[in-house]
């Protein structure tokens, strides 16, 4: 990750943001997200370039890991690289393997990228599922642009704690976005495959109502909607052959 940050500074482009293995401890971690929009007709070349970089990185005894996700809906051909680190200090460390593969990124990956966007986020363990991602390869990501952080957080805390008590665990992983433009928070809900999306289950508000009653649920939903300026969702598939796990 660190040497690729150097590549970004030199070229205004980054190949990959590495990812540490998902922590099962309930500590807040930093997650970096790098979103790439690929040039039209360059998908195959981009994928082959990433594979070349992965091979180079492993051949040079690189130890960082990362997941690469492919967006299903929306405009353009979009990939997202996700990474997790324990603290900001890890970003100061030098990655010799990444440095050794600098030229591979320039020659085989960068030419196929139309645009790139970076986001730094922080996990919210209190609201999130305790289970690791495991073999689940689909995530439904819902983004929130909010106007009242206190109200939004209080309600999410209340609803997720109710889900945990009722079902044994939360349904997704919550994140707060640190700086930049776009969403302020998002939740990533994992599924084993697309078929799992067809499974019928009560929505979170239905579960909340079963515990707290209709009157309280209606009031909380009204306050929740008022705390949000915008909300949108995308589905992503895990690209195992491009990831370095």
Specify the CATH number for the domain of residue 181: 3.30.70.100
pLDDT at 94: 87
Q: Please choose, from the candidates 36, 45, 42, 38, the residue with its C-alpha nearest in 3D space to the C-alpha of residue 17.
A: 36
pLDDT at 20: 35
Q: How far is CA 115 from CA 50, 106, 128, in A?
A: 16, 15, 31
pLDDT at 181: 85
Count of domains observed in the chain: 1
Specify the 3-state DSSP secondary structure of 94: coil
What does each of the 245 residues of the chain score in pLDDT, given as a tens digit?
Answer: 443 433 433 333 333 333 333 334 468 999 999 999 999 999 999 999 999 999 999 999 998 889 999 999 999 999 999 999 999 999 898 889 999 999 999 999 999 999 999 999 999 999 999 999 999 999 999 999 999 999 999 999 999 999 999 999 999 999 999 988 899 999 999 999 999 999 999 999 999 999 999 999 999 999 999 999 999 999 999 999 999 98
pLDDT at 179: 86
Contact 1, 83 (CB under 8 A): yes
pLDDT at 2: 42
Rounded CA-CA distance 230/107 in Å is 39
pLDDT at 1: 42
pLDDT at 17: 34
Characterize the bridge pairing of strands 77-85 and 30-38.
Answer: antiparallel
Rounded CA-CA distance 191/93 in Å is 34
pLDDT at 180: 84
The domain containing residue 54 runs over which residues? 1-245
């Amino acid at each position: 990750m660190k040497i690729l940050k150097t590549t970004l500074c030199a070229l205004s482009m980054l190949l990959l943001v590495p990812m540490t293995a998902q922590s099962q401890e309930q500590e807040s971690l930093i997650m970096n997200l790098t979103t790439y929009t690929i040039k039209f007709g360059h998908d195959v070349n981009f994928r082959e370039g990433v594979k070349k970089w992965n091979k180079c990185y492993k051949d040079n005894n690189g130890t960082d890991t990362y997941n690469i996700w492919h967006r299903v809906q929306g405009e353009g051909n979009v990939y997202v690289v996700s990474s997790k680190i324990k603290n900001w200090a890890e970003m100061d460390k030098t990655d010799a393997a990444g440095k050794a593969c600098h030229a591979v990124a320039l020659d085989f990956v960068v030419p196929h990228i139309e645009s790139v966007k970076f986001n730094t986020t922080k996990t919210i363990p209190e609201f999130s599922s305790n289970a690791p991602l495991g073999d689940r390869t689909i995530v439904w990501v819902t983004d929130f642009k909010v106007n009242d952080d206190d109200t939004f957080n209080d309600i999410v805390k209340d609803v997720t704690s109710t889900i945990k008590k009722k079902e044994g665990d939360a349904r997704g992983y919550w994140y707060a976005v640190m700086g930049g433009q776009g969403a302020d928070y998002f939740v990533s809900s994992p599924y084993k495959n697309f078929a799992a999306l067809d499974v019928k289950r009560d929505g979170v508000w239905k579960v909340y109502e079963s515990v707290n009653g209709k009157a309280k649920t209606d009031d909380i939903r009204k306050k929740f909607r008022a705390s949000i300026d915008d909300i949108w969702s995308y589905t992503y598939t895990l690209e195992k052959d491009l990831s370095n796990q």
